[in-house]
Amino acid sequence: MIDTTVESEFATALVRMSHLVQYVFVDVSREHGITPQQAQLLCMLIGGPLGMSELSRLLHLEKSSLSGLVDRVERRDLVTRVGDPRDRRTCQAGLTPAGEQLARDVHNEISARLDAMGQTLPDADRRHATAAITALLAQHTR
């Protein structure tokens, strides 16, 4: 039999953690003069250019909303649209040098703040939490 109290506590903890991570994202984004969505886009592109369809899926945005988001960061010279080498009919979004630097700064700051929160936990608890979160992500982000 499944203990619904444990499930409820688990869901509540995940929701609260999600809010905490979102707060850190908002705070860091604001400090760097960008919106949280712009920060997410820049961080997604750290690994290299991505197609608009892939970005739309990853960011959970309609294509028209994504186009507006890319337009805004492109005007700030943080992102550029480049042709997709696999399909000449489509384009990819990639970071400019300024966008690359900002993306890395934002990503590093968010990571540092989240790491600092975990420093209060014993090493074994951090490793266990990391393993559990990694397993959940592997199951639900395929």
**What does the radius of gyration of the chain's CA atoms come to, in whole angstroms?**
18
- pLDDT score of 142: 64
pTM: 0.84
What is d(CA 110, CA 57) in angstroms, rounded to the nearest whole number? 22
Segment holding 91, helix H or strand E? strand 87-95
Domain 4-140 has CATH 1.10.10.10: yes
What is d(CA 39, CA 57) in angstroms, rounded to the nearest whole number? 16
* Tokens, residue 34: 């960008």
- pLDDT score of 83: 78
For the chain, the average pLDDT equals: 91
Residue 38: burial class (beta carbons within 10 Å; 0-12, 13-18, 19+): buried
